[in-house]
Amino acid sequence: MRIRDPIHGTIDVSGEEKAVIDSRYYQRLRHVRQLGFGDLAFPGATHTRHAHSLGAMHVASRVFQAVAARSHLPEDVRARFSAAVRLAVLCHDLGHMPLSHASERIAPSRASLRLPAWLDAVAEGEQATHEDFTAKLLLDSSLTPIIEEHYDSLGITPAAAVALISGAKPPRAPNFSHAGVDWTPLLRAIVSGELDADRMDYLVRDSFYTGVNYGRYDMDWIVSNLNPAMKDGRAYLALSRAAAFAFEDFLLSRYHMFISVYYHHTSVNFDYMLRRYYEESPGEFEIPSDPEAFLFCDDVALWYTLRRSKNPWAQRIASRQGFKLLAQFTERDVGYDLDVLRSALVTGGFEHFAVESRGVLSKYFAEGSGGPSLFIIDASTGRLTEVARYTPLYQRYSGAVRLSRLYVRPDQIEDARNLMARLLGQAVQS
């Protein structure tokens, strides 16, 4: 099967992948938008996790083929490794909840999913995440036998796909070794790492559909400069020094997209109101832990519930009546004191809320994820340098940027602006 995509052109799909794509669990992603409330700020941003996952699979294939071309892997091993990476990336977003990340706060307990114990090592808390749901759907749903039937001849199991997505180690480790070299770190880096197929697709795709330029970078040059790097019997993803500047541009593209698109004040506004709705009307909309019930838990179901709800926050969301942005600033801005502003709004009887968003250049570097997922390689000497040590951007942007925002009820915005102007004027005089 071939699929036409506005970002990558023609995407080739194998018979095994078509079986997964045709499954109900993958088709559910047609009804989960990639950017949640993003289309309220960027009208073109109505693209879905379905399209993104196809694009990410295509990028993963390009990356692996570029790396494999610089290796001594025999053709049958290349085919198996490529199929495993493509399957993992194709399925990496299956567990996303309605309006993407916005609904994770009402996810059920992780224990209710009854995941195998070997996944506990990568658990992020007691509440289930979309990664947990992805693992559940791959390992214990009606999708599981579909994968087993079509991938068994390739020696690829659902657990192998989950291992590449999550980084966890199943009891029966997938055999991603050849000639005494373990290729798991490299394959894992393509699925989820510093320069993974997920990011490489969503940056250009989100940039295209939002109509902004921040997410564009030189994908062709980066891909053509990727290499396998062998160290201590393991294969890692390595980028030639010639593409180091292109990689820095890629990092900054992601950073700027977070500030300008993913944390846009309108999206943040409606995310907060959705949270208030969930808090004030518990149980009115739920994320089911049962995989069959999860099939019907998508954006359509949530919007249907919001439109019928009597909750004032739901009514505001459904009628697109968000609060108005009064002020926003980062830790670098001067002349603002959030506590003073909030205290004045309380005294003045203004209905308002404050939201803080945090953006980092790299979650892997910031969280100290335990080992590099990407190296810079000197082709002339073969010397490897961890990417965080090679580029100064990690040091420049090592701390999180905080976006602090104040929102006020729409009919009170003019009075609130006058109040803020007086407060800022007084601060300047003092």
At residue 364 the predicted structure's pLDDT band, cuts being 50, 70 and 90, is: low
Asked if 354 contacts 416 with a C-beta cutoff of 8 angstroms, the reply is: no
User: What confidence score (pLDDT) does residue 398 get?
Assistant: 65
Average pLDDT on 335-361 reads 89
End-to-end CA distance of the chain: 69
User: What confidence score (pLDDT) does residue 362 get?
Assistant: 77
pLDDT tens sequence across 264-273 = 999 999 999 9
Residues 288, 131, 49, CA angle at the centre, nearest 5°?
Answer: 85
Tokens of 415: 């009075």
Evaluate if residue 387 carries a pLDDT over 70: yes
User: What confidence score (pLDDT) does residue 379 get?
Assistant: 85
Evaluate if residue 110 carries a pLDDT over 90: yes
Residues 309, 284, 286, CA angle at the centre, nearest 5°?
Answer: 135
Evaluate if residue 370 carries a pLDDT over 60: no
Q: How many whole angstroms separate alpha carbon 311 and alpha carbon 297?
A: 20
At residue 324 the predicted structure's pLDDT band, cuts being 50, 70 and 90, is: very high
At residue 388 the predicted structure's pLDDT band, cuts being 50, 70 and 90, is: confident
Question: 182 in helix, strand or coil?
Answer: strand
Between residues 392 and 23, the one the model is more confident about: 23
pLDDT tens sequence across 117-137 = 999 999 989 999 999 999 999
User: What confidence score (pLDDT) does residue 195 get?
Assistant: 94
Q: How many whole angstroms separate alpha carbon 181 and alpha carbon 157?
A: 21
How much is the mean pLDDT over the chain?
A: 93
Q: How many whole angstroms separate alpha carbon 242 and alpha carbon 274?
A: 45
User: What confidence score (pLDDT) does residue 368 get?
Assistant: 46
3-state helix, strand, coil in the chain (%, to 5): 55, 15, 30
